[in-house]
Structure 1
Amino acid sequence: MAHTIVMTRVLHVLDHSLPLHSGYTFRTRAIMTAQQASGLDVRGITGMRHAANGPVIELAEGLQFHRTPGEASGPSGMRELREIGALADRIVALAATWRPDILHAHSPALCGHAALRAGKRLGIPVVYEIRAFWEDAAVENGTGREGSVKYRLTRALENRAVAGADAVFTICHGLRDDLIKRGFDGGKIGIAPNGVDLSLFGEPPSRDAALADRLGIGANGPVIGFVGSFYDYEGLDDLIAAMPLLLEREPDAQLLMVGGGPMDAALRAAAEVSPAGDAIHFAGRVPHREVERYYSLIDILALPRTRSRLTDLVTPLKPLEAMAQGTLVAASDVGGHRELIRHSETGVLFAPGDPAACADVLAAMSADRSGWDAMRTVARAHVAAHHDWSRNIRRYQDVYHHLLDRLPNGALRTAA
């Protein structure tokens, strides 16, 4: 007999969360906010890697998060096991007073294994969601090497988390397909794609002339922009190399770089010696609440990611946010971008690792503005149909209900 669920409680098990700002925390915020609005009772719990001062129970942007205090020590391997154990114990302790029906863990695999331990002790289902394979992310950010012992151990830990979970989600087809190639049953693996809260994106903001003057950006344009972290795999050196070629055809073109990261110094050095140096502007890191002002200056968001396992398998969030707020997108033709962008309909794709190809696309888009409004309209409609969180969370609800209906004896908590 099916269960009658008055209010399902879902505990999200996380690496880190708000009030820290990152793509990881913004996706979590979107999921939890949409689930809360749909009637679910949700909370988050973070492991020891949430590196921010704050109370053990913290309210951030209307969402409640519980922390795992302390810091794990010991040699590599032992330290991670201690992190898993501490987080699992914290989940079980919280469950004594706030009884979750579902544990929804999010990568990395440490969170998945902590949830599996706690779920077994509590007798409740575990959903594990993979946002990226962290061994590949380590390779791309320079903290790991493909094929190393650490790489293989991280992959094995991921595989065990997938095998142990009652249900699995990935954020895109690339990750799901890779798991199926490893031998996992595709019927167990759903997709919860990156999305946006469309209620946050109304009319595109008008151009902030005062900010443009402060940055030294002229009014004629076009303004090419990048907003995000300056990692090597983002291919921003190719974007800077494309600027002299673009200026040959669009003399008033400008490049606005908003953000920072490991490649910051190298990119600024490349801009200084570039013939297009006067047209390249670095805004530095800006508070999240200010980002919309910078977007108001950008005509085309450029995303020149290089080709790698990470960029072919993982979809980014930035193209969706840009499309939602009416900014055109030009992106490299890697797997993660192809899942989000329909070439010449919702954006334009160009060959990765090729500054000339990047310049050609940017010049062509800049020279013919007659189709800009139509592309903006189609892109926003695509986001609304396929990447609106208020719709996407239904994928989770269906799986939650299926797992809860499989529990023996039908003993579900329906009220506090």
Structure 2
Amino acid sequence: MNPLVSDVLRAAPVIDGHNDLPMQLRAQRSYSVEGLDQPLPGVQTDLPRLRAGGVGAQFWSVYVPSDLPEPEAVVATMEQVDAVHRMVAAYPAALTIACTAGDVRRAWADGRIASLIGIEGGHSLATSLGVLRSFARLGVRYVTLTHNNNTSWADSAAEKPAVGGLTDAGRAIVREMQRIGVLADLSHVAPVTMHAALDVAVAPVIFSHSSAKAVTDHRRNVPDDVLTRLRDNGGVVQLTFVPIFVSAEIVAWTAAMREESERLGLAEEEDWWPAAPAPGTTPEFAGPSPRKQHPELAGWLAANPRPEATIGQVADHIEHARDVAGVDHIGLGGDYDGTDSLPVGLEDVTGYPRLLSELADRGWSGADLQKLTGLNMLRVLQVSEDVAEEPLWARTR
């Protein structure tokens, strides 16, 4: 590790924008939070590894699939929010709920990891401002406007745009989010939606886990014209580690694999979303999500092994975003426990110091690394609080 990195992480621990451990707690452990204070098999995140990775604040994603009926999505999201609060309550010496920039600073001073909450997809709001405000009172600090399906009011990057970015209802939802101090997260949305949200934003927006489209041409990445507007908005793009977002070779390999799957007539595998534990039942730990093995595809996979993404490729995305948006508008959003593979050296949440060492070796200063790890996101939190007319999370504290 470059010796500069230890000093950086002491001064500005990582504020990571997106971690899907709550989803894994549901899928693998029936929402049990036991054992997180020791190395936990089957996940990429636990408390010892967060410490080793220099993480000082984590936005826990409370993701539910975007093809769920909206009322069902609201219930499932509530269960995810409950899981975060239960996890924090179980480890009070290590974790603390945070809603404000001041909460994050106090957590750092106390040697605890600030736990913030982000909803991954506007379907979880059921097109209801009342639901949005209720989640805000529970500590939710960002909402990703879509996941992989369009909502009735916003276009996703994963589907053909249907409403031209945002409808009038969508613009009203973004305005209400900023009025009450909830960040608008533009990861997962179509470029036309990014621009539409920036058109109405009066506070900084974020990308909680995205990379640079100019470096890797993937639909989930951010175009340069949006990065330029992000600078003017004062927001932050939190660069992610997802291999297909950072490696053009993996994009090409995935396209070829899908073409071969289609040739063989294999159906695309659906996301696994197990039922929540029923009251009065004994939790059953299901283990990692089952992956179908297709013997018909085995020969092609043996002849065409999946390429590996690298720390260097992630660093390339960070440097491109810095060059276009500016060093004050970049951060980190690993997407740990939301993807089954990660770049070599970033396989779990201990990887941040290795990435920072790569950047330090490229000539980054300690001051710029501190902006990347935490100070930029801390500023965004503070500005969003200052702009909010009625920060609902503050009324419960």
Q: TM-score, normalised by structure 2?
A: 0.38
The structure whose RCO (Cα within 8 Å, separation 6+) is larger is 2
Higher strand share: 1
